[in-house]
Amino acid sequence: MPNAPQPTSTLVTGGAGFIGSAVVRELLRRTDGPVVVLDALTYAGGRDNLPDDPRVVLVEADVADPAAVAHAFAAHAPARVLHLAAESHVDRSIDGPLAFVRTNVVGTATLLEAARAHHAGLEGAPRRAFRFVHVSTDEVFGSLGDEGAFTPASPYDPRSPYSASKAGSDHLARAWQHTFGLPVVVTNCSNNYGPRQHPEKLIPHMVLRALAGDPLPVYGRGLNVRDWLHVDDHARGLVDAALHGAPGATYLFGGGAERTNLDVVRTLCALLDDRQPEGAPHEELVAFVTDRPGHDHRYAIDASSAKAGLGWAPARTFEEGLAETVDWYLAHADWVRRRVGAEGLRRLGTVGGGASGGASGAGGAA
Ligand SMILES: NC(=O)c1ccc[n+]([C@@H]2O[C@H](COP(=O)([O-])OP(=O)(O)OC[C@H]3O[C@@H](n4cnc5c(N)ncnc54)[C@H](O)[C@@H]3O)[C@@H](O)[C@H]2O)c1
């Protein structure tokens, strides 16, 4: 009997989004087979995020649609799956939580079921090599005080509809590992930044408002702390996890770059003063606004699980990555226009939809 063809493709859900498209580029560099992107192309995803490469195949489908997902597995027989499709913006989860439950919880369960059926049909080396990488966030662990950092042993304590839906999806992924033997790897990471991040998120939001001379709305006193990770460092770690991760393992990725939101905004202003001196000093645009409801104080990652298990460490410093990111937004006005559209950059997630204390915008990082 002839040998069955060996699976070579990688399935990336959410591959047309910010982190997913960085994963697609990393896979093109490090694997040989097709990279199949399953993405519903919501407001957050775009074909223009995907590299123009014949190995990239876009399947426009909803991850919560069982028939479409089963069809993608049957048609492309992936050697591995990286699951990034999600509703990802905390402020939107305050305005409309059910979309988060549907995509992040029901969508993950739908994908796990299809992966389980696919994995059951694999034999030998492809079965041993198959991995389902479930991509999650450090927000599932809740908020830290001024000391300490999250580890894989940190208890779950999600506080927003976004982080609760991601926590639910992490539990489902681990349940499919324990109950059905699906080789699941769970990753949790800190705040990402870099090119192609949707303008609703803190860094691009502030850059674009500062360029327009609009107020820079910083939530509360701007003292919430986030640990910033460059998206390409994260994508490298996720592909490491897909190629070398141990089934059942959890890896935490962090940038080792803790900054208050106000520090981030001030650094951005200094970078823009250099590049657009006519608007300087951009820092004068900072306007403190009413805090996000339930805003977590601090997130920080102890990345030793990724270092020990995958040999991973971040390569970029925050300062060099941030400067490159600002330059990318300055050079991609068309990309920005396609994202911002007629709606502009408005404040989301205030509970009750108003009384936000002044300037509109999105002054919180995840
Ligand atoms: N951005 C961060 O800082 C960060 C940090 C930690 C974890 N994460 C996680 O990483 C993943 C990717 O985040 P991102 O920032 O790239 O998000 P993003 O919002 O930029 O992209 C999400 C992608 O998923 C797609 N999508 C949304 N709903 C879908 C559905 N029902 N079916 C199929 N596709 C759908 C969108 O079209 C988009 O392409 C998410 O799972 C997120 O929770 C992100």
Which domains, ranges and CATH numbers included, belong to the chain? 10-193+227-253 (3.40.50.720)
Residue 252 Cβ inside 6 Å of ligand 1? The answer reads no
Q: 73-97 burial, b for 16+ CB within 10 Å, e for fewer? A: beebbbbbbbbbbbbbbbbbbbeeb
Q: How far is the CA of 5 from the centre of ligand 1 (A)?
A: 32
- For 294-306, what is each residue's pLDDT tens digit? 888 999 999 999 9
- For 65-100, what is each residue's pLDDT tens digit? 999 999 999 999 999 999 999 999 998 999 999 999
Q: DSSP E strands: which ranges in the chain?
A: 10-13, 35-39, 56-60, 80-83, 132-137, 184-189, 192-193, 216-219, 225-227, 229-230, 250-253, 258-260, 286-289
pLDDT at 359 > cutoff 50: no
Closest atom of ligand 1 relative to the 198 alpha carbon:
20
**Is 162 assigned a catalytic role?**
yes
Exactly one of 139, 232, 233, 302 is catalytic; name it.
Answer: 139
- Ligand 1 pocket mutation, candidates 18, 93, 227, criterion most atoms within 8 A of CB: 18
Closest atom of ligand 1 relative to the 89 alpha carbon:
19
Residue 16 Cβ inside 6 Å of ligand 1? The answer reads yes
What secondary structure does DSSP assign to 42-59, as a single string?
Answer: -TT--GGGS---TTEEEE
Q: What is the mean pLDDT of residues 43-58?
A: 97
Residue located nearest, by CA, to atom 30 of ligand 1: 62
pLDDT at 350 > cutoff 90: no
- Give CA–CA dist 191/158, Å, rounded: 15
Residue 46 Cβ inside 6 Å of ligand 1? The answer reads no
- Give CA–CA dist 27/60, Å, rounded: 19
Give residue 349's pLDDT band: very low, low, confident or very high (50, 70, 90). Answer: low
Give residue 357's pLDDT band: very low, low, confident or very high (50, 70, 90). Answer: very low
Closest atom of ligand 1 relative to the 45 alpha carbon:
39
**pTM of this prediction?**
0.95
Give residue 62's pLDDT band: very low, low, confident or very high (50, 70, 90). Answer: very high
Cβ proximity of 138 and 154 under 8 Å: no
Q: What is the mean pLDDT of residues 247-270?
A: 97
Mean pLDDT of the chain: 93
User: What is the pairing mode between strands 258-260 and 225-227?
Assistant: antiparallel
**Is 139 assigned a catalytic role?**
yes
**Is 227 assigned a catalytic role?**
no
Residue located nearest, by CA, to atom 22 of ligand 1: 17
Residue 238 Cβ inside 6 Å of ligand 1? The answer reads no
Q: What is the mean pLDDT of residues 256-264?
A: 96
Q: How far is the CA of 86 from the centre of ligand 1 (A)?
A: 4
Exactly one of 91, 162, 170, 291 is catalytic; name it.
Answer: 162
- Give CA–CA dist 34/36, Å, rounded: 6
Q: What is the mean pLDDT of residues 28-32?
A: 97
- For 114-147, what is each residue's pLDDT tens digit? 999 999 999 999 999 999 999 999 999 999 999 9
